[in-house]
Homo-oligomer: A and B are copies of this chain.
């Protein structure tokens, strides 16, 4: 079971790639509390908190692949049990005047309610990635768009 998304960004592929392949970039659209090494063989920790500072969990990803302006792949090393061992990938291409991001979060074991939540949440974060790459301003956690009782 996979979550898939597609979004077009009016920015060069290099800009979108930097937002996916550097700690500063990731902190600009996913969560402000992003730390670690974003090189292949390194791992990146993403921590999430509420606007008033309460920690609400996080993920650690092993960086499997980096292909400049083309591809970023991670495997989830730590986080909610449903996430551990799943793969996340971003494929970039150019179409018309857009950098197209093909996103996939692969190998969920069950189609649980949490998977549906994460699917919608990924969409909102990809909109944040787009805004960040286009304008320099995304909506990373803790100022991310809330989509219900699970944040």
Contacts and interface: CB of A to CB of B under 8 A. Distances in A.
B7 A120 contact: yes
Nearest to A9: B148
Chief secondary structure at chain A's binding surface? mixed
Given A98-B149, A100-B148, A148-B98, A6 B116 contact: yes
Interface of A: 1-9, 95-98, 100, 102-104, 111, 113, 115-117, 119-120, 123-124, 126-127, 130, 145, 147-150
13 contacts: A4-B119, A5-B119, A6-B117, A6-B120, A6-B147, A6-B150, A7-B148, A8-B147, A8-B149, A8-B150, A95-B149, A119-B119, A127-B147
